[in-house]
Structure 1
């Protein structure tokens, strides 16, 4: 009986690990820098994230004025990401995890498209 519980726990951990990874097997959690401007996206554990359009190279997100930081949430399914709270007007932003680990958040109704690379 103990073996079955241990095996079930190992499977649950494996499934959770897959859910938090994108293509290529690396975790999507981390700090990403936008290629189209002064933007930063910090994807944290447990579905939390931070976003700012006021990032300057070399700056820590914690050093930004809190009015310039937007709290958001994220989910991942396979290589598809969904963010809530990135745009002021509400709604979600859809994106994908590329094979190289970058995030593609293409142009959408309330979002200007951008590629984010992990720093």
Structure 2
């Protein structure tokens, strides 16, 4: 009688491993998508804060008299209020609003009047 030695995995073992990997992926994917959305919203919030700070500094600072107000770059945001046409030294400044790119899509508002800063409205 020959002594046969088993080598490799059986088909059942491979199917069980593939099923376990599938279950783990099904559980992890929704969480991952939520993190991707929050990251997109956070990137747009940071971009809106930086832009509104630049605009506020140029508009309210007499030392920045020769500097034009830049247009928003919109790398992380789909749309941002363009403040490049605003008049300097005005008493009433409009709010800057932005919309995050997909998959986030959050609405962001930056308040100049009450100096509340920027926040996600959603």
Question: How does the TM-score come out when normalised to structure 2?
Answer: 0.31
Q: Based on CA coordinates, which of the two structures has the bigger radius of gyration? A: 2
More helix by share: 2
TM-score (norm 1): 0.31
